[in-house]
Amino acid sequence: MEQIKSHHRRVANIATASFTSCDDQESGETSTSMLKLNPDMAKFTGFYLYRMEPGARSAPHRHGGAEEFYVIEGELMDNDGTVYRQGDMVWLAPGTEHNSYSETGCLVAVFSEKPEEAPEDISDAI
């Protein structure tokens, strides 16, 4: 078996890695950032770490495919009032519409099958 070439491997440590801001005036993301290693996957697609600072809010969105996430630290709340805490592992079905808020801040490991879309109705957004 051949050794893995250096350009075929990326390694990051969450304690020292630089997260990329997700804040976007157009999308409505505030105080959020991500760490993603695969340069071939679109934003918010595939596997990534998602950080929300205290008071952060995600943009309202609809999932094009299923989303799974694990809350590494902190907690976040969905627009329907569901609270996810450290240690929770969550699956959201394709087509799910939501946005999230974190009073305390959180770090979440996310896997999203397909790109997000704009939601049909954002009247329930936090």
Return all residues near 33 (Cβ < 8 A) that are at least 6 apart. Answer: 19, 20, 21, 22, 23, 50, 51
Interval 15-65: pLDDT, tens: 999 999 987 776 678 899 999 999 898 888 999 999 999 999 998 889 889
* Digit-coded pLDDT (tens) for 73-116: 999 999 999 999 999 999 999 999 999 999 999 999 999 999 88
| Contact yes or no for 69/110 (Cβ under 8 A) | yes
Domains and CATH numbers, the chain: 19-117 (2.60.120.10)
pTM: 0.88
